[in-house]
Structure 1
Amino acid sequence: MAQCPVNSCEICDNSIGRRFCMDCEQLFCKLCEISHLKTKSCVNHVFQDADKANSKVNTPICTQHGERYTYYCNTCSSLTCNICLPTTHNKHDFCLIDAAASKTRSLLDREVKVAEDRIRRAKQKVISFRLNLKNFEDEADNTKTEIAERVAVITKAFNDTKDSYFKSIDEHKSKESCKMKDEIDKIENTIAIEDDIQSLNQMKSLIDGRNDIILLDLFSDFTKTLKELSLLDIFDKESTAQAKFFPAVMKSGTIDNLIGSIKLVKFNGAEVKPNIKVGDRVRVKSRVKKPTLGWGPGVSHKSIGTVVDIPSNTSGLIHIKFPSYSCWEGYINEIELV
């Protein structure tokens, strides 16, 4: 087995072993290293400086025979030594460890790239979802504000109408009250009601009685009283001044019609993207203070550009050509049609 303390090259034994192969666990001189890496099965071996390499052999060995693994059994998906191969894996599909490792590296390389792409797309999706969340919360707050403002306008309109009605009623009340008071004063100034009632009672007793002298003596006074009372006929007309309120019939939905309606959409996990396509004229939404990927040279809320590409393999990215910046990139949920 190779040990780092050995200073000579374990291949040629003629030069100092300054390089250590991490795969073979052997010391190499520089020339032998170059030759080793030219071998097809060893082209991917990793070398380190001998003084920096860990000389301790960490490679697992066959627990049954104590030998280094030399082959890889594709049938069993396991490592095998020279002794195990002819006895246990004789008729199996096997190959040298270097060949199996080379194939595995290529497979893992592809899988790692796929995993990295998945992570990148997941990060983009998180960014997009965070943007959607912020836009949703902003829209919810804006909706509440708009409803409050509309209610305030309606309330002011109601109060203004109420004040107008009150003013009209007060003016009508004052005008008609004066007229009624004038009528009362006219009646009271025309006759002495209590005196006339007393005179009428006296007249009725004399009519029913037998004292003709007193009756005739007071006849002229009675005639005068009756004439005065005849003036009451001009006051027979009743006052018709009124102030009525006719309440409106409040039907279901009346308040909704005054304020407006809202539509609540349940989040189902899918991204809601604007109906934007290549060739559309667009701009950054006014409520987006700063795009997630930045503004870019000369781009602002007032800038209007043309959509040049919407990549299908990205999470909501869009490419726009602005007059001041022809390769602007951002998220589609931050853009609106012009």
Structure 2
Amino acid sequence: MLSDKMAQAASKTCEICISASGSQYCLECEQYFCENCKTFHNRQKISKTHQFQSALDVIPEGKSKCKDHNEDVSFVCNTCNVAVCSSCVTGSHKRHDFSKLHDSIARLKATNEQELRRKVQEATKSMNKMEEGLTKFDMKVEVVVKAITENGSKIKAMVDTHIAQMIASIKDQSRMERDKLTKIIADTRMDLKVGSDLDKTMYELYKTRHDDKLLQSLQKLTDDIAKLTIEPITDYPDVFYTAKSTTDHDIKQLFGTFKISDVHTGQTGYREKELHKPSSDYEHDMKLKEHGRYLYRCDGCGKEKRTNL
């Protein structure tokens, strides 16, 4: 992306002397200046307060053309969910609902930022609580192990082997439940990683032209953010030990027992973990059926429109 911007800036020529490279951009005049012309421009009384920025940081305005009328695309037909020109507004899309392309892009940016921020915060909060629950579970396991050890210490040497077997058993079973919690935390970290990647994609999209391609990319980003799932807070497993009075007879039967409850989540159905990897242009997926949506053709303009099932 940076190399594209550098190549674009290098192709600009100073619009004043029309000879040197236009490396500086005047925000008030909306013109490219070379270093010498910029200095002269700032010395003039009428323009000495003008602000400049590097031409490398100038994002070009969208100049996409309508394929039907060869006019600049400047509106969005909300009825058909496509970018259109002014001739489309009074022609094939007449009496449809419209908004300005710039406004639609701004709304999508704000919505994506807010929704992604909310989900990342929710995922962070959920992961912190799960880690806290995992720590408490480990502490409970250790408490039970200690109880078993203390109870076993009251029994004669003949039961030492049984004590070791029982401790090994509870650790094995608790390890299975711990692994489940660890897996959930790992999945949540992956959600955060996907959210971070989407955030980087969103940042890169903001540097691109404000045209219909950006609109489609932002719409695709909206779908990907909606598919970003957050693991619900689990009901953490419990562990306890029920001691029995011990005698010299039938040690195994008189020993206490332990029980570990299973990990439970509120998750139902299929959870899609792999989101589409964003490309450099963040290509928009236009398949007819995708994640519970389908397209139908508008009777007024003949354009395809996406709707929920």
User: Is TM-score (shorter-chain normalized) higher than 0.5?
Assistant: no
State the TM-score, normalized to the length of structure 1.
Answer: 0.34
Pick 1 or 2: higher relative contact order, CA cutoff 8 A, min separation 6.
2
User: Which is higher, the Rg of structure 1 or of structure 2?
Assistant: 1
